[in-house]
Chains A and B, each alone.
Chain A
Amino acid sequence: MTTCVIHALERVYRTALILTLLFASGRCCALQSDFRATDEVLKSQQQTIVKLFGAGGGSLDSYGTGTLVSGDGHVVTVWNHLVSTGYLTAVTADGRKFTVDVVGTSAEYDLALLKLRSEPGDSFSCIDLSKVSDPDPGTPVLAFSNMFHVATGNEPVSLVHGVIAARIPLEATQGRWKFPLKSPVWLVDAIINNSGAAGGLLTDTKGVPIGLIGREIRHSASRTWVNYAIPLTTLKPVIETLLSGKKLDSRPTDSAANTRMISDQELTARFGLTMLPNVVERTPAWIDTVAKDSVAAKCGLQRGDLIVLVNDAIITSVTGFRQQLAAFRSGERVSLTINREQQLLPVELQIP
């Protein structure tokens, strides 16, 4: 009888104990709203960030960010235009400059693994991949990145504070490119995805690595800029695979998803534009006629104009022009560059 009572009591205590622990930890977490990190945390995180430099132009930046993941000088970043340019240099936090090789890439994870061409004896501070973790929404975070190329040489990169807003699958685009990752990403309530920030590091205020800062992209539904980071717990196995020397998927070249284009009929109906007929394989994007009072007429396009650029994409054919236009949604502003009588002129077009 007494034993029974004691056992029963013990069960109650045990449940209470577990509940208390859960409750206490939950409360503490919810109340944690302090963005202050210690100097040691900030300094040690800064050491793991590199500033990347490559080729850019127009709205494509010639600079970016990378995060060191090995003491030998392996760096992860987003697989964007910068990585694809073929000529990359990196500057470490202490101001050392290195030539960079691309070791491996993953289109599915939008990830590139780079290697600094170091000398024997060089060593690097890096994030500890075994310590990456998934925080709860509401956790204060810090973003380290080379945004806007504010820092040069040995200057510490920019620091932005925010809160994990959500963990959700992301549907977003950058021009015709679609964000490929199907698993959830971290959304942050601060503007962390700025020019050159992609490949930077998101940590909590204790310095625990959380995510790799992504690109400047807009959400597919709302067309608003998205501030996201890919969870390092998601990337960890991918990084480890690439570190081991295995190859992953390469980027699909102009696959079915990317070949959507505006038809000639639609171009005439919506824009008031008729292009020169597509008779050869690469017919240049000459304007044949512009309908009176049409969108095309209002923005100043004329018969005989050659479309050279759509935003920063070079247009080599009328097919390319129709493909580029298909990537924009109604209401968006697109800047065209046209060649009219040997002069390059800018034209702004609002997609009808």
Chain B
Amino acid sequence: MLLCLLVIVMLFGSVSTANAQQTVIEREAARVETLRRISSSIVCVMDPKGQGGGSGVLISADGYAISNYHVTSGSGTFMKCGLSDGKLYDAVIVGIDPTGDIALIQLQGRSDFSFAIPGDSDQVQAGDEVMALGNPFLLASDFTPTVTYGIVSGVRRYQYPANTFLEYTDCIQIDASINPGNSGGPLFNIEGRWIGINGRASFEKRGRVNSGAAYAISVNQIQKFIEHLKCGLIVDHGVAEFTVATLDTGQVTVAQVSALSDAYRRGLRPGAEVLSFAGRLLTSANDFQNVLGIFPEGTRLPLTWRDSDGLHEGTIRLRPLHAFQKAPELPQERQQQPPEDPEKQDGEEMHADKPAGEVPEPLKSLFVARDGFCNYHFNEIQRLRLLTALKERVASNGDPKPAWVIAFNAADPGPQLVGELTIAASAVGLNLNNRPFLQSTTDPLVEEESPQLPGLLVAMNQLRRLLSTDAAEFTEQQAAGRTFHLPLKKDVDVLLTREGVRTCRWYFDGSSALPVGVDVEYAQGIDEARLLFTDWADRNGAVFPGRIGLISGVREELRWLNIDSVSVNRPSATEKTKP
């Protein structure tokens, strides 16, 4: 009996010991293997002289890498980057997101860089194991990254700008050691998926060294900015044009609403309870701030709220927060410090000037300075990608000057509409159910729009400009990143055009060279004209959509106009009837 027990105990004991041992060893082996795999994507970011610096992570084989804005802002336009292969690569600044403390750079000289695979940072939870990689204290002269291990201390943290414009929203708090030089380096989950960029820590009494509380910008936020950054932009964050407060009862209510805002026009008023924003349920004003901070300016987001009339939903476009025209300067204490002496006080040892090292000749063509852009060279690449294909596709439209006459009809929802649009260089005319509307293209007035189809005339004028083969039709054109389109519910590339006060966002979904929609801002305090385009075809020598959707009204209803016929080159009737 005892013998039996003894054997069982010994067996159990040894087995469980062996199991525990095996698990620890296996987990270590898995970690080592993961690190071996991800280390080659880690970048040591330095100025052109190979000085100072921080960390970064490669995100594509063609050398795009993400770092912190506060790392690259001190390094100038061109940088030297060290990889774990021990080699030094040239790199150029591509785009910046100063508020989000993110910078996109491109390493040169290879097309087969190793890169990190992003995970889903929304799935990260407190208690998850994480690894931070980078070059703290610039310890490795051969650029072998330093690894620190920790757990997630909290998620969806909000860290105030604190005397700067750097704002960490919805970020991941970790207890892995983060020290000077780690900035811009990636945070990985234990499976080796990239989940964030380590950029901030709570430095206090113990000096500028790890305090056990550091913050990583979530990869899901960064992903929303990457295509904007690739366009060489100074990407801005947004404001919602209304403020919220948390009640003691845990409800989030509207404090103030700008009367000129999208939200106001959708019917949002002070006192309403905001239930969700961008699809996330809100339980505090901090939640709201967190959601707001993860989107680039210009994004259209859904909002759900409740007031005495019941439940409402609508979409609002984020307006610019800072509208930087040039890369903004950081206060000294937020610039990347030479990290040799953590005991030194803030700002004690700074680069007196921005470094001016030798820039190799072939690199110089990779940078074009222009106001409002981080690096216009990259905007040109993206802009031409969209525009060249478009112009080729509409080449058959030929001379833009003759008038286009478009007959259309619309059925449900709403009353039956039959109309004829005449789009000419000087004016746009609409005959809708035998009611005439006429608008000059040089000085369009809001009151000249039809009440049933508001914004249609101004949008048609813009469409004619886009579809003409003359690129000089707009005073300004730029690639403006990628956004999730509502109501199309898909990612689309954005081409932004300006002509006078009229700003258009043209949306391209990659399926064709022609746009799938446009949003036209044409007057302050008036809803944008929001159009969708489908069934593009050549009709009588004009490339034109077969159906045009128009979103309008408090409830943002979508109404489809079926194009019956398109004719061009007829004498311009509108020219003659112009008063």
Point out the residue from B20, B150, B213 that lies within 8 Å of A28, measured CB to CB.
B20
Which stretch of B153-161, B535-543, B556-564 is in the interface? B153-161
Tell me the bound Cα distance from A101 to B186 in angstroms: 45
Tell me the bound Cα distance from A15 to B50 in angstroms: 67
Instruction: Give the contacts of A11-50 with B (CB-CB under 8 A).
Output: 13-14, 16-17, 20-21, 23-24, 27-28, 31-37, 39, 42
Chain A contacts of B14 at CB under 8 A? Answer: 24
B284 touches A150 (CB 8 A): no
CB distance from A144 to the nearest CB of B (A): 10
Which stretch of A154-162, A265-273, A275-283 is in the interface? A154-162
Known: A154-B284, A191-B210. A42 touches B127 (CB 8 A): yes
Residue picked from A13, A23, A32, A191, most chain B C-beta under 10 Å:
A191
CB distance from A233 to the nearest CB of B (A): 25
Chain B contacts of A194 at CB under 8 A? Answer: 202, 204, 211-213
Interface of chain B, main secondary structure: mixed
Which stretch of B3-11, B37-45, B320-328 is in the interface? B3-11
B154 touches A28 (CB 8 A): no
B151 touches A35 (CB 8 A): yes
Residue B175, interface by CB 8 Å:
yes
Chain A contacts of B212 at CB under 8 A? Answer: 147, 160, 190-192, 194
Tell me the bound Cα distance from A99 to B150 in angstroms: 35
Please name the residue on chain A nearest to B177 by beta carbon: A191
Residue A328, interface by CB 8 Å:
no
Residue A117, interface by CB 8 Å:
no
Residue A10, interface by CB 8 Å:
yes
Chain A contacts of B150 at CB under 8 A? Answer: 161
B21 touches A158 (CB 8 A): no
Residue A225, interface by CB 8 Å:
yes
CB distance from A219 to the nearest CB of B (A): 14
Chain A contacts of B21 at CB under 8 A? Answer: 31
Point out the residue from A24, A153, A191 that lies within 8 Å of B211, measured CB to CB.
A191
Chain B contacts of A153 at CB under 8 A? Answer: 246, 283-284, 286
Chain A contacts of B2 at CB under 8 A? Answer: 10, 13-14, 17
Chain B contacts of A150 at CB under 8 A? Answer: 153-154, 157, 159, 173, 202, 213
Residue B17, interface by CB 8 Å:
yes
Chain B contacts of A33 at CB under 8 A? Answer: 24
Residue B129, interface by CB 8 Å:
yes
Instruction: Give the contacts of B128-145 with A (CB-CB under 8 A).
Output: 129
CB distance from A121 to the nearest CB of B (A): 16
Please name the residue on chain B nearest to A23 by beta carbon: B13
Tell me the bound Cα distance from A23 to B13 in angstroms: 8
Residue A345, interface by CB 8 Å:
no
CB distance from B486 to the nearest CB of A (A): 29
B151 touches A24 (CB 8 A): no
Instruction: Give the contacts of A207-252 with B (CB-CB under 8 A).
Output: 216, 225
Residues of B bordering A, CB below 8 Å? 2-3, 5-6, 9-10, 12-14, 16-17, 20-21, 23-24, 125-127, 129, 150-154, 156-159, 173, 175, 202, 204-206, 210-213, 246, 248, 250, 283-284, 286
A-B contact pairs, 13 of them (CB 8 A): A10-B2, A17-B5, A24-B12, A31-B21, A37-B127, A148-B213, A150-B173, A156-B154, A158-B175, A159-B126, A160-B151, A160-B175, A195-B204
Q: Which 5 A-B pairs have the closest CB atoms?
A: A24-B13, A191-B212, A31-B20, A148-B202, A158-B153
